[in-house]
Amino acid sequence: MAAAPVWSVDPRTGKQRDQVAVEATAQAVDAAVRAAHAARGALADRTVRSAFLRTAAERLQAAGEGLVETADAETALGPARLTGELARTCYQLRAFADIVDEGAFLDVIINHPDDTATPPIPDLRRYKVPLGVVAVYSASNFPFAFSVAGGDTASALAAGCPVVAKAHPDHPALSEQVARTLRGAAAEHGIPEGVLGLVHGFEAGVELVGHPLVAAAGFTGSVRGGRALFDAAAARPVPIPFHGELGSLNPVMVTEAAAAERAEAIGAGLAGSMTLGVGQFCVKPGLVLAPAGAAGDRLVKSLTDAVGGVEAGFLLDHRMRDTFLAGVAERAGLPDVEAPVMPGAGGEHTVRPGFLTVPAGRLTAEGAWDLLLEECFGPVTVVARYEDEAQANTVLSRLPGNLTATVHLSTEEAAGEGRGAEILAELTPLAGRVLVNGWPTGVAVAPAQHHGGPYPATTSTSTSVGGTAIERWLRPVVYQGAPEALLPPELRDDNPLGLPRRFDGLLER
């Protein structure tokens, strides 16, 4: 049977553009993984590795106009948004190149023998080594930053791990173009092109996570798809780490004092955040706890005015559009749920943003309203009006893990008066990033960033954004009593590579 074709589709019309590939067979997946496995040695030299990452960024930047054109044709996200995302992707590659050059990620620790300790300490030398081939599952909503050349790929390559990426069906042509660009960068430094494999198709994704030479996986997508792959990774004869980003409601708590102080500004800010990218950000605020009184009414009016002025937009594909329309209709049909601005179809191919309101008391016990505590992908949020702080806290206690949690405080509360610190402590168990007086959309690529959270936000405690993302693809190893002449250079006393390390308890830079 011939392999199924892979088509590039225009989300603005739902029509096929071009056939760009075929779905990978089990044999094709095996070949891609084996080629990546064979390329491991070419990444061993950190100097070559960092140069490859920088060249990849340069080549992506040079090809930017054509890449953005293809990305827009396949995602309808718009040239401005995509140009910025490509710049972020190039920045990520360069940032990881800097991390590779510095070498602190190797976490070198050396202890010389100490017979006076109890028990005695032998000669111990510890550092981290790459896991092996990493499977990367591309996201739909970030065709550059969380796709073939995105953060998972950049951090894995930085760790010294070859990658086999599973292309997302919403941007297959772009995936092919980006893969060719990175392979060209690899060849420039004598690295085999197999260091970055690319496969298409649902079955290929299943084959990939089960391949015995795949050592770890990174995923960004739905709870259903991610959980299935996570379970498959755990069920292997040799289980592997699966770092999945699955879903997030990203709750926002607005105190009564904050609403009284600046309800209009909060409503306008919420509208901008929940409709950014047509609501297709994984950190879109999907649930807002707002007070039930007059200040909350002002907030809702501001949100109504702002959201009502946002034009309809295109979702990434028509399947997502159908799911969004069905999801908002089901939620809006629940008793006591109102729609000051009804989200729904904006035209034959578009959706219009909106929001729903519900008394917070409906969310404090299990029932049909549980649906309002689940992520709905697209430009919609739920505003739950609470009567008192205890009711708001009860709703928060029912929430699953999230990528982010936000609180809006008044000036006095932010200065330490009132319950500001207490609310912050209540939000901390819910999310990997807790914001005060801001909005979660927009994830800075920075050393201190953490993009993750308790399940189902992610399946691990690691981050997929920021410098420490490299740690996902490494494992520690300790040499005990090994003669100096046999040790890798990273662990020798004279430190020939000039690495930061902890040497007999002292931190050396």
Q: What's the count of helices (H) and strands (E) in the chain, helices before strands?
A: 14, 22
* Catalytic residue status for 203: no
- The pLDDT mean for the chain works out to 97
- What is the SS3 string spanning 16-59? EEEEEEECCCHHHHHHHHHHHHHCHHHHCCHHHHHHHHHHHHHH
Residue ranges of the chain that CATH labels 3.40.605.10: 20-105+129-246+460-473
pLDDT in tens, 373-425: 999 999 999 999 999 999 999 999 999 999 999 999 999 999 998 889 999 99
Superfamily of domain 20-105+129-246+460-473: Aldehyde Dehydrogenase; Chain A, domain 1 (3.40.605.10)
pLDDT in tens, 470-509: 999 999 999 999 999 999 999 999 999 999 999 999 999 8
Half-sphere exposure of 146 (CA within 13 A, CB side): 22
Residue ranges of the chain that CATH labels 3.40.309.10: 251-436
What's the confidence (pLDDT) of residue 343? 97
Please report which confidence band the pLDDT of residue 1 belongs to, taking 50, 70 and 90 as the band edges.
low
pLDDT in tens, 71-99: 999 999 999 999 999 999 999 999 999 99
Q: Please, where are the H alpha helices in 309-364?
A: 318-332
**Which residue out of 256, 282, 375, 413 is catalytically annotated?**
282
What's the confidence (pLDDT) of residue 165? 98
243 and 468 Cβ atoms separated by less than 8 Å: no
**Which residue out of 74, 176, 207, 245 is catalytically annotated?**
245
pLDDT in tens, 241-264: 999 999 999 999 999 999 999 999
Q: What is the dihedral angle through the alpha carbons of 22, 230, 140, 284, rounded to the nearest 10 degrees? A: 170
* Catalytic residue status for 471: no
pLDDT in tens, 427-470: 999 999 999 999 999 899 999 999 999 999 999 999 999 999 99
Q: Tell me the fold of 251-436.
A: Aldehyde Dehydrogenase; Chain A, domain 2 (3.40.309)
**pLDDT surpasses 70 at 59:** yes
What's the confidence (pLDDT) of residue 365? 86
Q: List, in sequence order, every beta strand (DSSP E) within 144-238.
A: 163-166, 196-199, 214-220
Q: How many CB atoms lie under 10 A from the CB of residue 248?
A: 28
* Least-confidence region, from 145-149, 208-212, 322-326, 362-366: 362-366
Give the mean pLDDT of 330-350: 96
208 and 233 Cβ atoms separated by less than 8 Å: no
Q: How many residues does the chain have?
A: 509
